[in-house]
Amino acid sequence: MTKDAERSPAHVELIPATKDHQPILANLLELYIYDFSEFHKLELGPDGRFGCKNLPLYWLEPDRYPFLLTLNGKLAGFVLVKRGSEISGNETVWDMAEFFILRGHRRSGVGNAAAHEVWKRFPGQWEVRVMESNHAASHFWQHAITKFVGKPIQSALIEKNDRHWHLFSFESGLVA
């Protein structure tokens, strides 16, 4: 990959997901959850799916924002944003609840472009949490956030509910 490919990864678009998009997001969440089976034990339901019980909340609660991510008009992933920290308990912080890029589009700049767009749309204090065992994601977020804020950023190692997390905290300012 060239530096140009990293800076301008074709046409990346974040599309606010409507209730009609819920089945699409549910399908993409299956791929996302499957990826996590590498890091901790997850069981399939009797229907052969992992399921995501919190997905309907994105159309019921006002501080939740679901997005589909497209690359050149084709699905490439999704982003779920919500208000309120899962780690610190701070209700005013923005939380990158879930973030997924299809494997075929990873390391191409698509994830950076999508994350940066989200942070521009939701100015304020942010927290991004990553399972300690997910080294690739920790590296991705450190790189993406550092590029966004323009200075090196480090995570804090946090333990909550017997799980260990890398927690990145930063401020996203208003973008004109």
Give the pair of three-digit tokens for residue 115. 């994350």
Q: Residue with structure tokens 């309120």? A: 84
Q: Give the whole-angstrom CA distance, residue 88 versus residue 90.
A: 5
CA angle 25, 15, 64 (to 5 degrees): 65
Phi, psi of 114 (to 5 degrees): -65, -45
Q: Give the whole-angstrom CA distance, residue 18 versus residue 73.
A: 17
Backbone φ/ψ region at 10: left (φ over 0), alpha (ψ -120 to 50), beta: left
* Domains, the chain: 3-172 (3.40.630.30)
Per-residue confidence at 13, pLDDT binned at 50, 70, 90? very high
Q: What is the pLDDT of residue 163?
A: 84
Residues 52-82 have pLDDT tens digits of 788 999 999 999 999 999 999 999 999 999 9
* Better pLDDT: 153 or 17: 17
Question: Mean of the pLDDT values across residues 115-119?
Answer: 96
Quickly list H helices, the chain.
3-7, 22-36, 110-121, 135-149
CB 135 within 8 A of CB 102: no
Residues 135-174 have pLDDT tens digits of 889 999 999 999 999 999 889 999 988 888 999 999 998 6
Specify the pTM: 0.86
